Amino acid sequence: MLSVLLLALVLPVIHGQVSGTWLTKAVEDDIAPEYCVFPFKYQDRLYYSCTRVNAGKHRPWCAITSDYDTDKLWGYCLGDGGASFLMGDSPCVFPFIYGGKEYSHCITTNHYPGAPWCATTSNYDSDPDHAWAYCPTSGVRVSAIKSSK
């Protein structure tokens, strides 16, 4: 009974669809980098970091699925975009060496709390740029989903 009441209260503020269920058109909130999916496709080009291309209010944004062109799901990136969510221009390289250990998966050590990352070279330790990227995740914070830009 309570769940029906809650659903009735929530439904008027939900607009559109996401993969056959719901899509919210949220307030223009920032989203944490773990909700961005990199790389993502936008206008037939792959992006490995937040972008300002066609950005409303000139704020950087990212897709929260791998194909913005199809899904039209996105959110504003945290902050003013001064920091890139990808250092370098290539995707994850597995296995990679970090801290003298070899990894064949994304790790959460010493980066944004809880956000998985990977090296974009085979040896993070010996790479003078220490190139890395946040790994794509499947989690989506519904309040950050937008239907179009």
CATH code for position 30: 2.10.10.10
**Is pLDDT above 50 for 8?**
no
Residues 97-145: tens digit of each pLDDT? 999 999 887 888 886 666 778 888 899 999 988 888 777 654 433 333 3
Measured distance CA(74)–CA(37) in Å, rounded: 9
- Count of structural domains within the chain: 2
Q: Are residues 10 and 37 in the same domain?
A: yes
**Is pLDDT above 70 for 147?**
no
Domain that holds residue 128: 88-137
- Residues with Cβ within 8 Å of 71's Cβ and at least 6 positions away in sequence, in order, are 18, 63, 65
Q: Are residues 62 and 6 in the same domain?
A: yes
Within a 13 Å sphere around the CA of 96, how many CA atoms are in the beta-carbon half? 24
Measured distance CA(78)–CA(140) in Å, rounded: 15
145 is a domain residue: no
- What is the predicted pLDDT for the residue at 124? 92
pTM: 0.40
Q: Are residues 111 and 41 in the same domain?
A: no
Q: Are residues 75 and 109 in the same domain?
A: no
Q: Are residues 106 and 128 in the same domain?
A: yes
Q: Are residues 99 and 71 in the same domain?
A: no
Q: Are residues 47 and 70 in the same domain?
A: yes
